[in-house]
């Protein structure tokens, strides 16, 4: 018993009783941090909420199309489509499609803009580009 008290007195004089407690505190933080990290990483993914917001934004922009101009370049096999909108941020959208058939172009525009195909057919104006 006397040896233990001398040992504790010696540790106290060096301040080691504080330093011996630090590894236990470090292990506790390590285990606690692992538990918290596991809980955070195992939460369900909430990306679908953001995707729903993007879909709503795309639906709002459906009705803002003013005109659609499609310029067909048959030699290069591409069509350049310019869409004029009533939106204050995006006045003009330009798309390039690797197709030249008007029905295929209308289908691609319809898919890109999310508009009904008959509405695209009513608004699209075709022109051909001839290069020499």
8 A C-beta contact, residue 78 and residue 84 = no
Q: What is the mean pLDDT of residues 87-101?
A: 87
Q: What is the mean pLDDT of residues 21-43?
A: 89
Burial of 26 (0-12, 13-18, 19+ CB in 10 A): exposed
Q: Is the pLDDT of residue 67 over 70?
A: yes
Query: Whole-number mean pLDDT of the chain?
Result: 81
Q: What is the mean pLDDT of residues 52-64?
A: 53
**Cβ neighbours for 79, distance < 8 A, ≥ 6 positions apart:** 70, 71, 72, 73, 96, 97, 99, 100, 105
pLDDT of residue 7: 72
Domain ranges of the chain: 2-41, 64-128
| Stronger pLDDT, 17 or 64, i.e. the higher one | 64
pLDDT tens profile 96-105:
999 999 999 9
Burial of 31 (0-12, 13-18, 19+ CB in 10 A): exposed
**From CA 86, how far away is CA 58, in angstroms rounded?**
14
pLDDT of residue 98: 94
């Amino acid at each position: 018993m006397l040896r233990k008290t001398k040992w504790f007195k010696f540790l106290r004089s060096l301040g080691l009783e504080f330093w011996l407690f630090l590894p236990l505190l470090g292990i506790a933080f390590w285990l606690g941090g692992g538990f918290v990290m596991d809980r955070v990483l195992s939460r369900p993914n909430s990306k679908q909420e953001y995707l729903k917001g993007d879909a709503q934004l795309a639906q709002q922009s459906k009705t803002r199309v003013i005109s659609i101009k499609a310029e067909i370049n048959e030699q290069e096999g591409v069509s350049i489509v310019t869409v004029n909108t009533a939106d204050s941020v995006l006045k003009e959208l330009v798309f390039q499609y690797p197709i030249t058939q008007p029905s295929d172009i209308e289908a691609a525009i319809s898919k890109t803009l999310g508009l009904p195909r008959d509405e695209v057919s009513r608004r699209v104006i075709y022109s051909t580009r001839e290069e020499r």
